[in-house]
A and B are shown apart, each in its own frame.
Chain A
Amino acid sequence: MDWFTDPFLLGFQQRALIGGAIAGVMCAVVGTWLVLRGMSFFGDAFVHGVVPGIAAAVVLGVNPMLGAAVAAVVMVLAIEAINRSTRLGEDTAIGLLFVGMLALGVVIISQVDSYTGSLTAILFGDVLGITVSQLVQQAVLAAIIIIAATLLYRPLLALSLSEDKAKLLGMKPKQTHAVLLFLIAAAVIGSFQAVGTLLVFGLLIGPPATAALVARTVPAMMILAIVISLFSVWLGLVISYYADTSGSATMALIPVVLFFLTMIARRIRNMMVVAT
């Protein structure tokens, strides 16, 4: 029993578990809709797009969450502007912004003396350094995400078929898409302290993608994604404690491993069904 409790005896370890768990829940709820809408690449670019905002906040000494929020708004507006003014396609616009914003973030953060440490914390997170006030901020964002995702279940489900179909069903796709972008931003902003901007994608897409392989309904997929997220955070921290690995990276690694294990198990099961 000590094996399970020892990693969480100290205050900072308990805050890491709670902060990681809240991040996991936020990411699972939002990530479910990203996976259903086929927007995983968008989500990947988005989480990197907030790097310059956080970097600028570190340089200016303001709350990194505020910087991330500003960068998220810039990212969304830039994608929309490029889509309207060129015929290159959304993936090209997203790809360019992905690299551009990440590079800009590194350029900005390189202006501070503790360049390497700050950059590592932004990109890979510092789950063991989560404070109580950050937990409160996370909890507020999580509550907003859960309430919004619950209220917008039908519009989001219709939008997962297509924008035209959502409009035909009276579900206001443009407003729903805008809210979804806001929810992605909220999830990323509320999670980067725990797992970093590079690794938050693991929690955002890994659990919902794994859940999609086995769930029979969308609500079941969302609940299963939350369970996988919570398990990943717990197991990641336990492994990190005993193996002396990075807590954030280990947490982000677990759902990715689970995805591939589930995929292999599913394939083996299908082969056995065909064989019989």
Chain B
Amino acid sequence: MTALVEARDLTLSRGGRRVLGSASFTIEGRPAVTAVIGPNGSGKSTLLHALAGLISPDQGSIKVLGESPGRSGRVSYVLQSSAPPTNITPITVRETVRMGRYPAVGRWRRFSAEDRAVVEDALARMQLTDLADRHLHELSGGQRQRVFVAQGLAQPHDVLLLDEPLTGLDLVSARTIDDLIHERTEVATILTTHDLDEARMADSVILIGAGTVISAGPPAQVSTRAHLETAFGLGALHDWHGFLDEHHHD
């Protein structure tokens, strides 16, 4: 079976700064949920950008489902803090979610009944049907995050990338998105997170730190004391007791 993610000697930069260097790892099979964890500024979002094809490797290669990112059309990426650029903008929730169909309908083709059904289903999954005619600037941060997740759902994909999907959300929004992450086993979801509980429940983990990918694979393989010390430093391990205990590592 084609690996979900395969990176070889991967080096990534962002904003002129090298973020990840010489990272080689593989996420085998098709795990439903993969958590990318690591300290702030370690390169979690940069890795997702590379997986989505937004940035190209300085060196090495990365493949998603055996294909170069950005060319396959099989990846949908929900960016972190997808805020509208102006305070007042007459872009409705439904219009925003409809944009998720653009890769399918292109620049000019009319929306089919199927396209419209996909949009309505995405709105319903994110509990946005009642808010569909609201403007983006009329929503709370959590509601807006759900809109962009719904847009990601409407986009044709086999892999869903979520950058910090639960950070700073209200309870309803966090639960709605969290339920989605763990209910949809037919597609692979890769998310970055600071939430150790979220990482603990993932089927595989990519641990980033010290400028590279330290380990990737099943949580039990990744969450060793040595790996976590390398990523977070010796002093940070008290935060990780639960994670370590869960997987019974010394």
Tell whether A253 is near chain B: CB-to-CB under 8 Å. Answer: no
Closest B residue to A224 by CB, please name it.
Answer: B90
Tell whether B13 is near chain A: CB-to-CB under 8 Å. Answer: no
- Contact check, B89 vs A212: say whether CB atoms are below 8 A apart: yes
Q: A154-B107, A155-B107, A161-B99 are in contact. Are A36 and B54 (CB under 8 A)?
A: no
- Contact check, A221 vs B107: say whether CB atoms are below 8 A apart: no
Contacts of A165 in B (CB 8 A): 79, 82, 99
- Among A155, A169, A212, the residue within 8 A (CB) of B90 is A212
Tell whether B95 is near chain A: CB-to-CB under 8 Å. Answer: yes
- Contact check, A168 vs B91: say whether CB atoms are below 8 A apart: no
- Contact check, A37 vs B103: say whether CB atoms are below 8 A apart: no
- Among A37, A152, A168, A215, the residue within 8 A (CB) of B85 is A37
Contacts of B155 in A (CB 8 A): 168-169
Tell whether B232 is near chain A: CB-to-CB under 8 Å. Answer: no
- Contact check, A168 vs B77: say whether CB atoms are below 8 A apart: yes
Contacts of B95 in A (CB 8 A): 157, 217-218
Tell whether B96 is near chain A: CB-to-CB under 8 Å. Answer: yes
- Contact check, B91 vs A162: say whether CB atoms are below 8 A apart: no
- Contact check, A171 vs B107: say whether CB atoms are below 8 A apart: yes
Q: A37-B85, A213-B88, A217-B90 are in contact. Are A167 and B54 (CB under 8 A)?
A: yes
- Contact check, A161 vs B85: say whether CB atoms are below 8 A apart: yes
- Taking CB atoms and an 8 Å cut-off, the chain B residues in 81-103 that contact chain A are 82, 84-86, 88-92, 95-96, 99-100, 102-103
Tell whether B133 is near chain A: CB-to-CB under 8 Å. Answer: yes
CA of A164 to CA of B163 in the docked complex: distance in angstroms?
13
Tell whether A95 is near chain B: CB-to-CB under 8 Å. Answer: no
CA of A178 to CA of B135 in the docked complex: distance in angstroms?
28
Closest B residue to A263 by CB, please name it.
Answer: B88
Count A-B contacts at CB 8 Å: 77
- Contact check, A217 vs B92: say whether CB atoms are below 8 A apart: yes
**What's the least CB distance linking A81 to chain B, in Å?**
17
Tell whether B118 is near chain A: CB-to-CB under 8 Å. Answer: no
Per-residue CB proximity of A200-224 to B under 8 Å, as 1/0?
0000000000011101111011000
- Contact check, A38 vs B86: say whether CB atoms are below 8 A apart: yes
- Contact check, B90 vs A162: say whether CB atoms are below 8 A apart: no
Contacts of B76 in A (CB 8 A): 168
Contacts of A168 in B (CB 8 A): 52, 54, 76-77, 79, 155
- Among A36, A154, A164, A171, the residue within 8 A (CB) of B86 is A36
Contacts of A25 in B (CB 8 A): none
- Taking CB atoms and an 8 Å cut-off, the chain A residues in 29-55 that contact chain B are 35-38
- Among B85, B103, B133, the residue within 8 A (CB) of A38 is B85
Most buried by B among A158, A167, A169: A169
- Contact check, A216 vs B52: say whether CB atoms are below 8 A apart: no
Contacts of A220 in B (CB 8 A): 90
Given A165-B79, A218-B95, list of 11 further CB < 8 A pairs? A151-B107, A152-B107, A154-B107, A157-B99, A161-B85, A161-B96, A162-B79, A169-B99, A212-B86, A218-B91, A220-B90
7 A-B pairs in the complex with CB atoms less than 8 angstroms apart: A161-B91, A165-B82, A168-B155, A169-B155, A211-B90, A212-B89, A217-B90
A-B pairs, top 7 by smallest CB distance, nearest first, are A38-B85, A169-B102, A215-B90, A170-B103, A221-B90, A38-B86, A168-B77
Q: Tell me the A residues contacting B by CB distance below 8 Å.
A: 35-38, 151-152, 154-155, 157-158, 160-162, 164-165, 167-171, 211-213, 215-218, 220-221
